[in-house]
Amino acid sequence: MADDATEDSSPIDAVSGPDAPEYTFEGYEVDFSDLVALTPVAPETADQRRTS
Amino acid sequence: MALAILDLSGFGRGGVRFQIDTGTNKYYRLKVGRSIERRNGIDWVGELLYATKIGVNEAGGGLLNSSTEISIPTDRIQHGHAYVQLFTFKTPEGRSPAFSRVVKVPVGSGALDDLPDDVAPPELTMSMGTTMTTPFKAPRTVACRTATQAYAYQTSWMDLLGEVVKVATPVVTKLLAGAGGGGTASASGAGAGAGAGAGASSPDFLTQLLQAVLGGLQNVTPQNATPTPPSPAAQPPAPNPPAPSANPTATPTPPPRSQGQSVGPVVVANRFATGNGHFGDLSRPFIFGIDDMAIATLLGPFVKILPDLMNSANKKRVELKQAQNALIGGIMSDINRRLLVDKLIEAQKQAPAAQPGAPGAPDLNQLIQLLQQAGDGAAAQQQSLPAAAMSSVAFAGPRSFVLSSRAILSFITGEPVKWNGSSKLLYAKNQPLQFNVKFAVGEPVPQRPLPKALLKLTFKDSTDQTVWLEKTVRQKDLAPNAVMSVPVSPEDAARLPVNRPVAVLAELRWPAKSGPAHQALGGCDVVFVNQFFLAAQGAAVSPERELADMNQFRAFWNKVWESPSLDATRGSGDEKQYLWELDVNAKYTVLLAPDHDANGLMATKVLKAKPDPESLTNKVEGRMKAGIELSVAEVSKLLSLWDAQPLDAARLEAISTAAFAKANAGELVRNLKLRGRASERGLIWVIPTFKLFELTLGTAQTSDATGQIVAVSEETVRFPLPVSARIIGLKSQS
């Protein structure tokens, strides 16, 4: 892989919020469940999302 | 003991896979039906679709293992859900039969060939899921690519030429119309613009062009490099109505916007036209990174160069194809490029007054960087160009025309309107189209018209050079500054793409008294639209919604990793491993796919660090890449989460564009860690989450006689777009 993938994105606040849906699986236990914000590729969109 | 055990293993490109165990029976067959029928208290496959021939299980009768894996071709069960049952026999004639339970194959409406391996592990279910038929199509498997790989923008020569043309056209048109005193090229022959000094097209036209520019730059003295009051030659020209012409097609009504084909700031922000001396505006119009203030100081040399420059650039835009693009890049990539860079650096040293950042200072650094960047791109393109393609490319050809030094073509259009957040010339495809092209000729204007000429319009894709349409119109008695009209029939218009930029390039050729024919060119960038188009994208208007129901939103769930199987068949003795562990930096890319009606799950790629052969842990350490391509049509169906209906086809078409997809692509990087014992199974799923965004759709309110949209009405629609992703790590309960 040519591109770097070393810098973590931050999980966003809704991870443990009251509105977060519950993910449960039969026969499986959830080890981790993170909601991570997407970083827009187009810079003009980044500003738009940041303010929304 | 005779057995008939049937289990669904998974889906693959070869078909639906089953694990069967026939026990001591060696012969078997599968029956596929649409329903289950209960007879005598036993379930049987009903409404039979397909039955296999009697097959032989070579493992049948084995003492330790009598199971094997078989598959059914996907075309046998590709419509809705199917039910499969296994029958086993001791002999081919059907002695000692045994039968299995009926197994349901959960097949959606999509083609099974598109399903990835293990797309639906049957043992994994969500407790909160409901059994409902998904309205989404089965996802495709696509190659992994990051947003950078999908949208990395390599400046091509088409871009360079397009920018040169876009920026230079207003300047050149004004020079031709109002600064004729500078146009000292002698007119010879009957044809307008048939100057003896016309620059003939040559393979290294860019070299010549840049050298001409450099020659001009090297003449910059400290006195004339400083900003000077606009010269009369640079004043906005007086309105220049089309000259009377004998050509019946050359008498259109004066349109609201004439002269240059450029749109946006170049047209409205020309400080010479507005007299605007605000410092911040001075750096807007550039030609090859050279502020047009510098051009104003160099009007003498440039007035001879610019029509050539325009025609040369437009000629190359007409001729440019992908292979040629690479060849042009190749020419510039080696010695020529280095020489030009050296000359630029030299020119920079010789122009002491042109301090970086000073008004009117030509920013040669930009040009140097541009050349270096173009050279890198050309090298990459050359590597990927097949040798056969290279050998078949003929550059320009020996049958070159002489480019006019005083005449260019300019499109006469109305004002641009908003499209995808920027200003574009929009044309409604559902109306008769017409393009008006002005034959702009500089002073001294020849008195006699051209007896005959040939006007050709080429409609090319602005990005990939695809030629969508070519129209040729003969002209007779074409007067200088006359306007030629080229109608586009509905049949021709049907071949043009909607909602993507199209370069319309005009080429006029006329014979000279002697020698090769002459040529003038022009171009403009337009967008053709149907009923609706995306004018602008607004902000989010809803909280985030997660697609938590795996059964319902399976097309959005992507299993990016699964723990290795560390059972007895894998390793023995010292090589045996008892634990597995994942520790990777993962990049997950979410792209929009405007051209597909099903989502695409990207195949995960892992760059592993070297494993420790002594370790008892099977450790995956390194980097991981995965992602999903979200079909715009599939995302539209998510509107039901907000109690809304999916967009209709006309509105969906308006946002199914590459520009919209690029504006809404995103990615995340996250460190993922998961570890477990050999007896445990680990999985990692990634599911995008969405917010509702407001989009402004435009529709044509008024179109002029040429089909150009000059007034639009707007409506606001809401559409879900991905804003984040849920990453879930699972382990089987021990």
Whether B734 has its CB under 8 Å from any CB of chain A: the answer is: no
Instruction: Select the more confidently predicted residue: B141 or B75.
Output: B141
Tokens of B486: 């080229």
Euclidean distance between CA atoms B602 and B145, whole angstroms: 8
- Buried b vs exposed e over B490-512: b needs ≥16 C-beta within 10 Å? eeebeebebbbbbbbbbbbbbbb
Residue B9 predicted with pLDDT over 50:
yes
Cα separations (Å) of B278 from B272, B282, B340, B355?
12, 7, 33, 19
Determine the average pLDDT of the residues in B460-481: 86
Tokens of B82: 């199917």
Residues of chain B contacting A50 with CB distance shorter than 8 Å? none
Instruction: Give the pLDDT band (50/70/90) at residue B174.
Output: low
Side chain identity at residue B504, one-letter code: V
pTM (two decimals): 0.55
Euclidean distance between CA atoms B285 and B167, whole angstroms: 6
Whether B718 has its CB under 8 Å from any CB of chain A: the answer is: no
Determine the average pLDDT of the residues in B424-450: 86
Which stretches of B40-156 are DSSP H helices? 147-151
Residue B710 predicted with pLDDT over 80:
yes
Instruction: Give the pLDDT band (50/70/90) at residue B625.
Output: very high
Residues of chain A contacting B123 with CB distance shorter than 8 Å? 27
Of chain A residues 4-33, which have a CB less than 8 A from chain B? Answer: 5-9, 12, 14, 19-33
pLDDT at B247: 40
Give the range among B53-62, B186-195, B642-651 with minimum mean pLDDT.
Answer: B186-195
Q: Are B554 and B704 in contact (CB under 8 A)?
A: no
Instruction: Select the more confidently predicted residue: B139 or B234.
Output: B139
Determine the average pLDDT of the residues in B112-125: 38
Whether B147 has its CB under 8 Å from any CB of chain A: the answer is: yes
With CA atoms as reference, the chain B residue closest to A7 would be B669
Euclidean distance between CA atoms B76 and B53, whole angstroms: 13
B670: nearest CB among A19, A31, A36: A36
Residue B111 predicted with pLDDT over 60:
no
List, for residues B267-278, the tens digit of each pLDDT value: 333 333 333 333
**Secondary structure of B546-605 in the HEC alphabet?**
ECCCCCCCHHHCEEEEECCCCCCCCCCHHHCCCEEEEEEEEEEEEEEECCCCCCEEECCE
Euclidean distance between CA atoms B382 and B398, whole angstroms: 24
Give the range among B322-331, B600-609, B725-734 with minimum mean pLDDT.
Answer: B322-331
Euclidean distance between CA atoms B560 and B725, whole angstroms: 13
Q: Cα torsion for B440, B189, B444, B300, to the nearest 10°?
A: 90
Is the ipTM beyond the 0.85 threshold? no
Residues 6+ apart with CB under 8 A from B141: B114, B115, B116, B600, B601, B603
Residues of chain A contacting B126 with CB distance shorter than 8 Å? 23-26
**Secondary structure of B596-646 in the HEC alphabet?**
CCCCEEECCEEEECCCCCCCCEEEEEEEEEEEEEEEHHHHHHHHHHHCCCC
Q: Are A41 and B666 in contact (CB under 8 A)?
A: yes
Identify from A7, A22, A35 which residue to disrupt to test chain B contact, counting B C-beta atoms within 10 A and taking the largest count. A35
pLDDT at B264: 31
User: Which residue in this structure is represented by tokens 């309205």?
Assistant: B135
User: From the CA of B648, how many Å to the nearest CA of chain A?
Assistant: 25
Residue B720 predicted with pLDDT over 90:
yes
Euclidean distance between CA atoms B283 and B276, whole angstroms: 12
Share of residues in chain B with pLDDT > 70 (%): 59
Side chain identity at residue B133, one-letter code: T
Sign of the torsion formed by the C-alpha atoms of B345, B347, B350 and B351: negative
pLDDT at B102: 87
Q: Is residue B252 packed enough to be buried (19+ CB in 10 Å), middle (13-18) or exposed (0-12)?
A: middle
pLDDT at B643: 86
Determine the average pLDDT of the residues in B92-109: 78
Q: How far is CA B531 from the centre of its chain?
A: 22
- Mean pLDDT (chain B, rounded): 71
Q: Are B30 and B52 in contact (CB under 8 A)?
A: yes
Instruction: Select the more confidently predicted residue: B685 or B490.
Output: B685
Question: How many Cβ atoms are within 10 Å of B211's Cβ, its own excluded?
Answer: 14
Residue B258 predicted with pLDDT over 80:
no
pLDDT at B462: 76
Residue B159 predicted with pLDDT over 80:
no
Determine the average pLDDT of the residues in B435-447: 84
Most confident region among B219-223, B394-398, B649-653 by mean pLDDT: B649-653
Cα separations (Å) of B698 from B321, B418, B497, B498, B680?
33, 8, 18, 14, 55
pLDDT at A20: 56
pLDDT at B119: 37
pLDDT at B405: 76
Query: Are B587 and A3 a contacting pair at CB < 8 A?
Result: yes
Q: How far is CA B312 from the centre of its chain?
A: 27
List, for residues B193-206, the tens digit of each pLDDT value: 333 333 333 334 44
DSSP codes joined into one string, A1-43: --S---SPPPBPGGGGSTTPPP--BTTEEEEEEEEEEPEESSH
Q: How many residues does chain B have?
A: 734
List, for residues B659-674, the tens digit of each pLDDT value: 899 889 999 999 999 9
List, for residues B342-354, the tens digit of each pLDDT value: 666 666 665 554 4
User: From the CA of B691, how many Å to the nearest CA of chain A?
Assistant: 10
Q: Are B643 and B637 in contact (CB under 8 A)?
A: no
For residue B444, say if its preceding peptide bond is cis, omega within 30 degrees of 0. yes
pLDDT at B117: 39
